[in-house]
Amino acid sequence: MTPIVLSLVAGLLLGAGFGWWLRAWTAARSAPGALRGAQTRLSDAERTAKNMVREAEIQAKSEVLKAREAFETSVKEQRRELNETMAGLNKREASLAQREQNMDSKADILDRKEEAIDRKAAEAEQTAAEGRRLAKEAEKLGAEATAKLEKLAGMTRDQARRDLLEKAKSEIEGDVGTLIRRARERTEDSAAKEAQKIVVGAMQRYAASHIADTAVKIVSVQGDDAKGRIIGREGRNIRALEAATGCSFIIDDIPDGVIISAADPLRREIAATALERLIASGKIQPQKIEEEVESVKRNWDEHLAKIGGSAADEAGVAVADDETLRTLGKLRFRVSFSQNVLRHSVEVARYAGMMASELGLDAQLARRIGLFHDIGKALDETHEGPHAAVGAAFLGGRGERKEVLDGVAGHHGETGDPTVYAALVSVADAMSSARPGARSETGEIYIGRMSKLEQIASAFPGVERAFAYQAGRDLRVFVDPEKASDTDALVLARDICAKVEKELQFTGQIKITVIREKRCVEYAR
């Protein structure tokens, strides 16, 4: 760039010199004014030349700066790429170094494990050799001990083994027989259930209500919340109900009700009444349950009178004496071959009244005798003799007419010369008892077996009460904690089990639970 500028400047200077000479020559020929004009133009030319030189220098510097910036930018880009390449190489080098270090560590670990395995193998071999040595010594000592024992006992090992097996066989023979019997009974029970599917069609009409009434009672309960309150936290409420009433409470078999099951219908009715009151009050807890059950028992005579009054109204017989009504109400909780005695008495009264009307006899008197004909069955526990005679004696003490007494006493022909009303009631009694499905001997035997189960347990000393649950499959025995310890309770359970197996015939198995509970109660005043 510099030679070009210098040439340009030289050219300009030469041109300027030539122009000056030309102007000087012209000026020499022209007037002095022309000299001044020449001088002015010379100064202008010099100024122009300086400006051109300055512009040329500025342009040259600008080009130099642009070239320098382009070079520096290129250098920076190359340096940045070089740095990135070096960083990647350094990172890869570090990774390779780390891998190499890890491989060295794993190699060291493998070497140590191999050494440990070799050491343990050597120890195991040494232990095995020691074990073989000890086994040989033990075998030798065992042989010596066996020889000494045979010498002392006077018999060989085989003889001792046979003797021991014979003794064990004699001891477990009874248990094996029991297990075989129970297995056979379980098989028979399974076969009986299959047979029930075939004969279930025979259980029709009136028998259904009596069978259900004999075994269970249903209390209406609306909603799962009410059932949850009956069960209580961790089942404490239902356990308190079962302990206080002696009944089994089945919660989930029907959607809107609770099934109360017990062999004794009196206990079922007390449990049902107490449960209905507890549900109505909304307060169901163990202490409240016990109080309500005791309250029902205290007011039981009034409840019995209501039951007797309802039955008398249904039979169309007017009864004013409260004791007679209470005794009549007790028949609600008596069964004869699974037939409810109170329902049977109402039926006999109805049949006797209808037949008396057809024969032109006193229908009112016939209904009265029919209603009272089995009232002696409510007094069997406290009076001796046939129920007909016992009932007549009771009614005589309550001021009943002679015709009623004769009819009640003679309805089974036990007085020798029964009256026409006694014969009429006897026929009605046979009609009610002999109609299809009215009675079931199997149900009576079932109830008797459950009652016998409770009687066996109650006969042992220290037993406060005993309840049979789940159709006789579960027996719960409550003992006096002051008279029986925990050890006594364990022995008592075994004794009851042995007596039940000896005196009762049953299928399957019976669970016997002895409960020993001690309560300490104080009152803060």
The predicted structure's pLDDT at residue 172:
61
| CB-based contacts of 404-410 (< 8 A; 24+ apart in sequence) | 404/365, 404/368, 404/369, 404/372, 407/365, 407/369, 407/373, 408/369, 408/372, 408/373, 408/375, 408/376
Domains 209-298 and 451-516 share a fold: no
Closest C-alpha to 389, from 403, 407, 362: 407
Q: Is 499:456 a contact under the CB 8 Å cutoff?
A: yes
**pTM, 2 dp:** 0.44
The predicted structure's pLDDT at residue 210:
45
The predicted structure's pLDDT at residue 254:
77
Top pLDDT among 23 and 327 is at 327
Strand partners, 259: 218, 250
Q: What is the mean pLDDT of residues 82-89?
A: 87
The predicted structure's pLDDT at residue 215:
63
Single-letter amino acid, residue 492: L
User: What CA–CA distance (Å, rounded) separates 484 from 473?
Assistant: 25
pLDDT for 249-297, tens place per residue?
A: 888 777 778 888 877 778 888 888 888 888 888 888 888 888 888 888 8
Domain 333-439 has CATH 1.10.3210.10: yes
The predicted structure's pLDDT at residue 368:
92
| CB-based contacts of 61-64 (< 8 A; 24+ apart in sequence) | 63/1
Closest C-alpha to 453, from 243, 188, 262, 270: 262
CATH topology of domain 451-516: Alpha-Beta Plaits (3.30.70)
Range list of β-strands (E), 367-438: none
The predicted structure's pLDDT at residue 364:
92
pLDDT for 16-65, tens place per residue?
A: 777 777 776 775 666 566 567 667 887 888 888 888 888 888 888 888 88
Give domain limits for the chain.
2-151, 158-195, 209-298, 333-439, 451-516
Strand partners, 289: none
Q: What share of the chain in percent tops pLDDT 90?
A: 1
Q: What is the mean pLDDT of residues 133-155?
A: 73
**Quick one: 507 exposed, middle or buried, by C-beta within 10 A (0-12, 13-18, 19+)?**
middle
How many other C-beta atoms lie within 10 A of the C-beta of residue 185?
A: 16
CATH superfamily, region 209-298: K Homology domain, type 1 (3.30.1370.10)
pLDDT bin (cut points 50, 70, 90) of residue 381 is: low
Q: What is the mean pLDDT of residues 503-507?
A: 75
Single-letter amino acid, residue 327: T
pLDDT above 70 for 139: yes
- Angstrom distances, CA of residue 38 to CA of 15, 17, 43, 146: 14, 12, 9, 158
pLDDT for 436-446, tens place per residue?
A: 445 444 555 66
Q: What is the residue-averaged pLDDT of the chain?
A: 78
